[in-house]
Structure 1
Amino acid sequence: MIPIIDTHLHLIYPDRFAYPWLSGAPALNRPWSIEDYLAEARPLGIEAALHMEVDVDERHSAAESRFVTELDGIVGAIAGCRPESPDFERQLDDLADITGLRGLRRVLHQAPNTLSQTPHFVENIRRLAAHDLSFDLCVRHDQLPIGQALVDSCPEVSFVLDHCGAQDITVGNLSPWREHITELARRPNLNAKISGIIAYAGKDWTLEAIRPYVEHVMESFGWDRIVWGSDHPVVTLGGSLTDWVGATREIVRGASLDEQAKLFNVNAKRIYRL
């Protein structure tokens, strides 16, 4: 069983941090600890995880990443940030000092389309390169052209497209998502994360229904520019961590062992400098 580095783990500690969005997500609005995650993850071959910020209250962004990087099984963190903020330079300096920080993310799929398109936002994202930090791109399928514009404006920054860029896509309706992914993959500074699919496919998803999404991203980006993520616990909206690991392993079963290793751990080590 090829070992997995999970590049997209969310942990929720409501006794420590504030997550304003959870009040509107009752299925997820409870503690999700590292201990509970590892109990399911380790038997599945998940040996380590990169923590992805949980759109925590802006005041807690640095504290969240400092806390999780001290937890068992966590090999790095992606911190939340606000590149639209006038004091982003100060925020970036503070975050960059965190041991184990590997990148930043600003959730865009619930933000106005114009947020990431201002010269100020672009200039601040370009600052990540000097700190050797990547940027996880979290956009809806209809926002992929906006994501493309940001990637094009920051050629020196390494980006990772979260969740196959497939938020809110109805399973079976591949266009125009498919064409956008093909075009996005032409950007050499953009990688793609195989994650999040079943959370947006509903409880009745099937392997054959999600397969075209996963395979198209893999074919477009190639085996050297993809990583795997659980999106736990958001994944539980459509199944379980066990379901998602099993589905992914089945989809790539026909690939070579070297190709599978690239998806599950080798690329993560390189892209996130683990």
Structure 2
Amino acid sequence: MIIDAHRHYWDPSRLEYGWLAHAPVALQRAFLPPDLDPTTDACILVQAAPDERETLFLFDIARRTDGVLGVIGWVDMEADNATQRIAALAEQGQGLLRGIRPMVQDIPDTEWLARPSLDRAFDCLRDHGLVFDALVDNRHLRALSQRLAQHTGLITVVDHGAKPNIADGQFASWASAIARVAQVPDVSCKLSGLLTLIDANGDASAIDPYAAHLFESFGGQRVMWGSDWPVLTTHATYEQWKARAQTLTRRFAPHHEAAVFGANAATIYSLATPVPAPASEGMS
């Protein structure tokens, strides 16, 4: 079973998605399950608004949509009652909540992750067995390393390879910083979001050295594929990106295709994946 470890659904008529005002016009509408071309791939839904109500919205979609295995939600991690809020969301999700994602890339303070006011919330994620999805770029990797050093055992997934500046070819500083983060054993990475970091008419092969470095740094057992749909649609279709990612995986992590496209996500997010029934005896 293929698992898309990073898919979004959103509806601006229901909730405020401030970042959409600066996004391409094609993304400034609702994207819901019927809008995705038919696919049998399972998925994890990821928050796109800094609002706990959106997490509840994603729970509702997950309960009504085949193949949704979990939700990465949002909570105000600096709130005085952040630990109670995390516990409440976990209870409301009834097993669907698999992680929390603060929208670090949109926070003006690039050292936000290092704030002591977040200590209790990160401990709470670890204690509840929830994953910290790190929506960061190169500006935040120092603070991320500092945060991870404080919370041994905190399962962390770096979204979109920490969003390297591919369009401007800024490889070296990102490469050294993400390699340091990868030295922490409980940190994994998503092979997602890279295509949208190149110019709309750019050569897709520009992402190849970045993908190669992610596989070299994390290894085939700590990289998982995600579509980043529908953001992806500004540069490719779902199936086009999946096929390219499969090619990259065969090239840079041979024999790890099953892990990257499903098994790693199932393990890292502790997903309750459906198990196919065994074939009856005598059936071919």
**Length-normalised TM-score, structure 1:** 0.90
Structure 1 position 200 matched with structure 2 position 212: no
Deviation at 1:121, TM superposition (A): 0.7
Aligned pair count reads: 266
Distance 2:99 2:62 in 1: 13
Partner of 1:94: 88
Alignment of 1:1-274 (within 5 A): 3-25=1-23, 26-39=25-38, 42=39, 47-56=41-50, 58-70=51-63, 71-97=65-91, 98-99=93-94, 100-111=96-107, 112-170=109-167, 172-254=169-251, 258-274=255-271
Distance 1:168 1:254 in 2: 22
Across the aligned residues of Structure 1 and Structure 2, the Cα RMSD in angstroms comes to 1.9
Deviation at 1:103, TM superposition (A): 0.7
Residue segments in structure 2 that go unaligned for 5+ positions in a row = 272-284
* Change over 3 Å in CA distance of 1:90–1:123 after alignment to 2: closer
Distance 2:101 2:18 in 1: 17
Residue segments in structure 1 that go unaligned for 5+ positions in a row = none
Contact 2:44–2:70 (Cα < 8 Å) also in 1: yes
Deviation at 1:256, TM superposition (A): 7.1
Distance 2:101 2:257 in 1: 26
**1:44-93 residue CA offsets vs partner (Å, 9 max, x unmatched):** xx52010001124x251442232122122211100012212222122112
Contact 2:164–2:171 (Cα < 8 Å) also in 1: no
Contact 1:18–1:60 (Cα < 8 Å) also in 2: no
Specify the SS of the correspondent of 2:36. Answer: helix
**Length-normalised TM-score, structure 2:** 0.87
* Change over 3 Å in CA distance of 1:256–1:220 after alignment to 2: closer
Specify the SS of the correspondent of 1:191. Answer: strand
Specify the SS of the correspondent of 2:143. Answer: helix
The percent identity for this pair of structures is 27
Deviation at 1:257, TM superposition (A): 6.6
Contact 1:126–1:156 (Cα < 8 Å) also in 2: no
Q: Which amino acid aligns with 1:148?
A: S
Distance 2:86 2:58 in 1: 13
Contact 1:65–1:101 (Cα < 8 Å) also in 2: no
Specify the SS of the correspondent of 2:172. Answer: coil
